[in-house]
């Protein structure tokens, strides 16, 4: 496992901002929630829909297709129809640089 710089805080300066990440061929999403930055799977665990099309509400992200919400810290699905969690990934900051553990 190594830390890879994937973004800068200026990419997502405001709570509610998101940025798509493509790391080693996989799709992730950087989300700026109330408690800070989080990296989760970009694609919803219910069907093949990008959560980038949804919205961040507090420390949750809501899917635009069927409305399930996921906790950004844990990936837990909070509403049906999704019943599987999102993957969540370690993140650290050095100054304004955002690193993900891959
Ligand atoms: S595709 Fe996200 S809740 Fe159905």
The model's pLDDT over 68-97, given as tens digits with 9 standing for 90+, comes to: 999 999 999 999 999 999 999 999 999 999
The model's pLDDT over 28-47, given as tens digits with 9 standing for 90+, comes to: 999 999 999 999 999 999 99
Strand order in the sheet with 69-71: 55-57, 60-62, 69-71
Each domain of the chain, given as residue ranges in start order, spans 3-101
- With a threshold of 0.75, does the pTM exceed it? yes
> Which atom of ligand 1 is nearest the CA belonging to 45?
2
Asked whether the predicted pLDDT for residue 1 surpasses 90, the reply is: no
**CA-closest candidate to residue 12, choices 54, 56, 69:** 56
Q: Is 82 in the pocket of ligand 1 (CB under 6 A)?
A: yes
Architecture of the CATH domain 3-101: 3-layer Sandwich (2.102)
The best mutation among 51, 64, 65 to test binding of ligand 1, ranked by most ligand atoms within 8 Å of the C-beta, falls on 65
């Amino acid at each position: 496992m190594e830390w890879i710089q994937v973004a800068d805080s200026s990419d997502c300066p405001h709570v509610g901002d998101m940025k798509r990440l493509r790391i080693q061929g996989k799709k992730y999403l950087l989300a700026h929630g109330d408690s800070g930055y989080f990296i989760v799977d970009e694609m919803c665990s219910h069907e093949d829909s990008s959560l980038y099309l949804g919205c961040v509400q507090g420390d949750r992200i809501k899917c635009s297709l069927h409305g399930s919400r996921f906790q950004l810290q844990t990936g837990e699905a909070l509403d049906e129809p999704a019943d599987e969690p999102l993957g969540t990934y370690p993140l650290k900051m050095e100054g304004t640089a955002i690193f993900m553990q891959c």
